[in-house]
Structure 1
């Protein structure tokens, strides 16, 4: 009996902490996935602007800290419940390890690329016109997780699991992506859209300045031996043709 009591003093806390350590790892993986998603949301923003934290945070919580069988929707469901739907975020005493208010999405940060690549992108941004990439095109998303200390079923500190009853564990993850994926608004064959493929590539093609002068060649195309000159198109830029089903339908102009 005495030996069993001594063994239980060691084995019972050990058996209780092994699943808790697994849940800590689970929270770490969830936070890493949520941080990558936060950075991606900023990269693929429709308005070319970084979204607000109030807009992204509910989506991250619903998608990465909800039940595994929940549906992924474009708009996060509104809720005031503190407890998260993922059952792995609860302890052996049915106390929460992580709640909604414990998840913080910090403000996005835009930085320049480090080293020589940052200097080269800075030189490219000096070109006239709207040619990307963005000089400060690296965006960093950072999340903080405040892990709750272990409690018994009545909410008191689980002193027999010291120091996990007062450890005050916190996790922090970050992810960085290049935010300017060009986002060209159409080929630019017609009109003068500054975000079109043609407008952005034009600054990289010095001969594009000859495109207007090429109109003069049409005047001599009717002369013998000079007809072929009318077919020349110096400086002409022809963006790649994209199938219609691959293009997103833009909103009509006001």
Structure 2
């Protein structure tokens, strides 16, 4: 009976030693997995930021956006956001200029190759979507046609589907080997994209919306005539004509549907 107990104790100790040899290194991999997940999430945020910038910047001004994207997402996350270029240290969690770790921590340390990584410039790729390209082209033609009516301003962008993204290269370590996807002999290449409609064809201001509506009302072409007749209304005998000022083609921007009116 005593001999069986001794065998069980020895067996449990052996299993513990073998399990420890296999599991202890995995504990050092947990920070590596966490850093890789953080890099992925940061890449998604950077891609969304780049796409959003296309909604507030004119086409062809993407160079500054690329610089800001690299500064705000791949440099020190504790730095204040500024409107001018800054010489910032790299990211404190997976930047390349951190102190070199040793032992298992050094074997699993994750760093990105910032020189090989980059934010992508805006790509206007409506043409890659056949249905969207056709709709965009037709809307652009209609907008140009309506632009010639009075003081109207449609300003419709026929190709406004913008794709932005980042390319991130993770350096190799003892656990992450070099991959053929990288020309810089890094361990992996992470590509993240975001797509947004930069111009939703909505009016940029109340006056633009008003002018757009007026261009769809034929009577608005007679507005100058009505204004001239209103001048004649200054004479008492024609006072009824005063009401013609701005009446032809008038657009009431204060009208709301019943469900939008206050109680």
TM-score greater than 0.5 by the shorter chain: yes
Give the drift of 1:116: 6.0
Tell me the residue number matched to 1:61: 70
Say if 2:66 and 2:120, in contact at 8 Å, map to a contact too.
Answer: no
1:103 maps onto 2:117 in alignment: yes
* Match among 197, 213, 224 for residue 178 of structure 1: 197
Say if 1:132 and 1:180, in contact at 8 Å, map to a contact too.
Answer: no
Count of aligned pairs: 215
* Match among 85, 91, 114 for residue 85 of structure 1: 91
1:134 maps onto 2:187 in alignment: no
Secondary structure of the residue that 1:108 maps to in structure 2?
strand
Tell me the residue number matched to 1:143: 166
The separation in 2 between residues aligned to 1:179 and 1:57, in whole angstroms, is 17
Which structure has the bigger radius of gyration? 2
The separation in 2 between residues aligned to 1:6 and 1:238, in whole angstroms, is 81
Which string of whole-angstrom CA distances, capped at 9 and with x for unpartnered residues, describes residues 165-209 of structure 1?
A: 335322111111222266978776xxxxxxx56555543443321
Tell me the residue number matched to 1:251: none
Greater per-residue helix proportion: 2
Distance 1:206 1:9, change over 3 A: farther
Give the drift of 1:38: 0.9
Secondary structure of the residue that 2:44 maps to in structure 1?
helix
Which string of whole-angstrom CA distances, capped at 9 and with x for unpartnered residues, describes residues 118-150 of structure 1?
A: 544433322322513311011110211111122
Say if 2:94 and 2:112, in contact at 8 Å, map to a contact too.
Answer: no
Root mean square deviation of aligned Cα: 3.4
Say if 2:222 and 2:248, in contact at 8 Å, map to a contact too.
Answer: yes
In structure 2, stretches of 5+ residues that fail to align are: 1-12, 148-152, 180-186, 255-263
Say if 2:167 and 2:191, in contact at 8 Å, map to a contact too.
Answer: yes
The separation in 2 between residues aligned to 1:206 and 1:112, in whole angstroms, is 33
Say if 1:208 and 1:234, in contact at 8 Å, map to a contact too.
Answer: yes
Secondary structure of the residue that 1:180 maps to in structure 2?
coil
Distance 1:118 1:234, change over 3 A: farther
